[in-house]
Amino acid sequence: MPVCQGPRGPQGRSPREDVLHRSPWHHGQLFSGPGGRSSWSGVPYLSLTCPSPVPHLSQVFLTEYAGPLLIYLLFYFRVPFLYGPRYDFTASRHRVVHLACCCHSFHYVKRLLETLFVHRFSHGTMPLRNIFKNCTYYWGFAAWMAYYINHPLYTPPAYGDDQVKLALAVFLFCQLGNFSIHVALRNLRPAGSKTRKIPYPTRNPFTWLFLLVSCPNYTYEVGSWIGFTIMTQCLPVALFSLVGFVQMAIWAQGKHRSYLREFRDYPPLRSPIVPFLL
CB 220 within 8 A of CB 79: no
Rounded Cα distance between 233 and 161, Å, is: 12
* pLDDT at res. 261: 94
Q: What is the pLDDT of residues 251-266, one digit of tens each?
A: 999 999 999 999 999 9
* pLDDT at res. 245: 97
* pLDDT at res. 55: 54
Strands 38-40 and 30-32 come out as antiparallel
Residue ranges in the chain whose pLDDT is less than 70: 1-60, 120-128, 192, 194
Rounded Cα distance between 268 and 40, Å, is: 21
Write the DSSP symbol of residue 86: G
- Cis check: omega of the bond before 53, within 30 degrees of 0: yes
Rounded Cα distance between 140 and 124, Å, is: 25
Write the DSSP symbol of residue 273: S
Rounded Cα distance between 156 and 232, Å, is: 7
Cβ partners under 8 Å of residue 113, min gap 6: none
Bridge partners of 26, per DSSP, are 43
